[in-house]
Structure 1
Amino acid sequence: MAGEWNLGRRRLGDRLRELRKRSGRSAEEAAQAIEHSLSTVSRIETGKNPVRLRDVMALLDLYGVSDQDERAEVAELHEAAQREPWWSEFDPILDPGMGTYADLEDAATDIQLYENIFVPGMAQHPEYAREVLAAAHPDAPTEEIALRVRFREDRRKQLLTRGDRVLRLRVVVEESVLRRPVGGPDAMRRQIDQLHDFADHRGVTLQIMPTARGAHAALRGGFTILTSRAPAKSTVYIDCSAGNLYLEKPAEVAQFAELYDRLQAEAAGPQETHGFLDRLAREIGHEK
């Protein structure tokens, strides 16, 4: 996991910075309290450096955090920052930045996703996923492709099987995505069946953007908005050939949130989408 952004440390650092500012204490005072340099405090608050639990407790004392529930919450963030992520076994075959993205998904309570190239990874049938991954990694051995497929399966389980913690997941997919015959007719019928099941999960809203709608504001490419509550934060993720792009400035997030609202308004509603999937499955069934 070398080079991956540690989301657990980032969430802890965000919380510690929030508490410091609430208390009116300076970063210099924090550095004195834990007997470290000012640059170390900066790196702790940005999630770049790990921090010992005793130093966390010393900072909470400095910041006047006496509420036991609040102290326990910060202690839980510290514990989470020490744990290996569920995806660590897949680390050798993950594309750069994918572990960070998986962490952001795990922390999210609300995900808004627009896709205009492929069925979203979290909703892909294994056969569809295998075809997509084999095309993206033509030199990879069969065993590596199988491991990449399993990562996507495990990722979906992490998102959709959370017990009482319901993820609000809103997905808009272009109609053209479902008309691309990835793996052939049989594979696409199974993929459409999986999309039906995906849409039936609690908290999931799936919408298709009909090609007949013509041009719309998001034709330039897909994006995802991931929002967490503790600490409250939204991140826009854009996947492109040049690398992964993360946007966190409020103005940038607001721009994409407005764009997503427009997409949802223009796309077919959830019930209309179910009907579209049924019609498409029948069309594929009549293909020779």
Structure 2
Amino acid sequence: MPPSSQPLIKPNIRRKLLGAKLKRARIAKDLTVEQVADAVGHLAKQQKERGTPGDTKPMKLTVSTAYRQEKGETPVRDDLLAFLIKLYEPDDGGPEWGQEVESWVQLNKLSRLTGPWTESGRMAGPTYSDYTAAEAIATELRTFQPQVVPGLFQTAAYTRGVIKAAADAHLPGTYQAETLIQHREHRKLLLDGDTPPLVRAIIDEAAIRRSVGSPKAAREQLEHLIELSNRPYIMIQILPFSVGGHAGLDGGFDLMSIGGDVVAFQDGHQGGAFIDGADQVRTYQAKYELLQMQALATDASREYLEQALL
């Protein structure tokens, strides 16, 4: 394959998400990377014959560059992205496709910025959709949750209780509770797929002791956690009250392994922040390791959950 003229760089989470979306859309159209590169080459030939305005260079896409773009290793030119949007548009597009296109454009713009991905200055913060998109392409998920059961582990009744409680704190009409419930239910399908990610969860005892929803819903949630803890790709640890002060007192967070890199996500009241700086990620990894040592082992955690049912 011809060498790429694009620089190989350490991808940030915005570029990784864009690459994953491009790959998914290409596969949905039943196109190979080679076919996409050929289509771009055909367009570039037409541009060259017509002439391009000013200093604009005709588009060029080698197979190796296309693969790198889908891995998030190489930036995507705006005009190339516009062409791919047309090429990948599904026959039954509509509003959902429009929203998807908007997310591509936004991610491509944000991918050129450096530093943590949070709402500040020129950068719009990650949306719930961005978080779930990252979760869906991760091969390993590590989470610490001090207040509630992790979203992927919640039963439908528990989720409804959590979201209803949050909705009570918002102005009427500003919190789309039913939409969030549907999204949360869709997220949980990740654990039942053919290749689920490895999931490690540390849950504070407060989240287990806190009753959310009806007594029946609370019991069903405990039973579901026990069932999940028996799956070979899920490890649940309970952080007991007896530990006292611990490394996670400043809030919940996640670590996601994506394409050979690890990114952190810090929970926040008005959303959250993706963090992919090496030193900062190492800090979160060290914090998680401390919490693992302070929490009950997986077998002891399962016993704890079984006792909580009695």
TM-score by length of 2: 0.62
Please, what is the CA RMSD of the aligned residues?
3.8
Asked if 1:239 corresponds to 2:260, the answer is no
Asked if 1:9 corresponds to 2:39, the answer is no
Judge conservation of contact 1:169–1:203 (CA < 8 Å) in 2: yes
Structure 1 residue 76, shift from structure 2 partner? 6.1
- Render the CA deviation track for 1:126-178: whole Å, top value 9, x for unaligned: 1111111011123567x953332221111010x21231x34111000001111
Judge conservation of contact 2:20–2:137 (CA < 8 Å) in 1: no
Query: Take 1:176 and 1:264, find their aligned partners in 2: how far apart are those partners?
Result: 16
Judge conservation of contact 2:238–2:301 (CA < 8 Å) in 1: yes
Quick one: which amino acid aligns to residue 208 of structure 1? I
Which of 138, 160, 182 is the matching residue for 1:150? Answer: 182
- Render the CA deviation track for 1:40-79: whole Å, top value 9, x for unaligned: 99xxxxxxxxxx9x73327x4xx7xxxxxxx7x4586698
Judge conservation of contact 2:16–2:70 (CA < 8 Å) in 1: no
- Render the CA deviation track for 1:16-51: whole Å, top value 9, x for unaligned: xxxxxxxxxxxxxxxxxx9999xx99xxxxxxxxxx
1:18-33 matched pairs, under 5 angstroms: none
Asked if 1:57 corresponds to 2:66, the answer is no
1:8-157 matched pairs, under 5 angstroms: 8-10=17-19, 55-57=60-62, 60=64, 73-74=67-68, 97-138=127-168, 144-157=176-189
2:149 alignment partner, SS class: coil
2:293 alignment partner, SS class: helix
Judge conservation of contact 1:8–1:82 (CA < 8 Å) in 2: no
The equivalent of 2:233 in structure 1 is: 203
Asked if 1:262 corresponds to 2:294, the answer is no
Query: Take 1:101 and 1:82, find their aligned partners in 2: how far apart are those partners?
Result: 23
1:55 alignment partner, SS class: coil
Q: Aligned pair count?
A: 224
Which of 192, 215, 226 is the matching residue for 1:161? Answer: 192
- Render the CA deviation track for 1:71-102: whole Å, top value 9, x for unaligned: 7x458669899589xxx69x8xxx96111001
1:56 alignment partner, SS class: coil
Query: Take 1:82 and 1:233, find their aligned partners in 2: how far apart are those partners?
Result: 28
Query: Take 1:131 and 1:12, find their aligned partners in 2: how far apart are those partners?
Result: 32
Which of 251, 258, 265 is the matching residue for 2:279? Answer: 251
Which of 247, 253, 257 is the matching residue for 1:217? Answer: 247
Flag the 1:145–1:12 CA change in 2: closer, same or farther, 3 A. Answer: closer
Quick one: which amino acid aligns to residue 266 of structure 1? Q
- 5+ residue gaps, structure 1, are 14-33, 42-51, 64-70, 283-288
Query: Take 2:196 and 2:213, find their aligned partners in 1: how far apart are those partners?
Result: 32
Quick one: which amino acid aligns to residue 181 of structure 2? V
Answer 1 or 2: which has greater helix percent.
Answer: 1
Query: Take 1:151 and 1:197, find their aligned partners in 2: how far apart are those partners?
Result: 22
Judge conservation of contact 2:239–2:295 (CA < 8 Å) in 1: yes
The equivalent of 1:49 in structure 2 is: none
Query: Take 1:215 and 1:83, find their aligned partners in 2: how far apart are those partners?
Result: 52
- 5+ residue gaps, structure 2, are 1-13, 23-46, 72-80, 91-95, 100-124
Query: Take 1:275 and 1:83, find their aligned partners in 2: how far apart are those partners?
Result: 51
The equivalent of 1:66 in structure 2 is: none
Flag the 1:259–1:153 CA change in 2: closer, same or farther, 3 A. Answer: same
Structure 1 residue 265, shift from structure 2 partner? 1.4
Query: Take 2:17 and 2:247, find their aligned partners in 1: how far apart are those partners?
Result: 34
Query: Take 1:234 and 1:82, find their aligned partners in 2: how far apart are those partners?
Result: 29
The equivalent of 2:113 in structure 1 is: none
Judge conservation of contact 2:142–2:201 (CA < 8 Å) in 1: yes
Quick one: which amino acid aligns to residue 243 of structure 1? G
Query: Take 1:12 and 1:194, find their aligned partners in 2: how far apart are those partners?
Result: 32
Structure 1 residue 103, shift from structure 2 partner? 0.9
Quick one: which amino acid aligns to residue 181 of structure 1? S
Judge conservation of contact 1:160–1:201 (CA < 8 Å) in 2: no
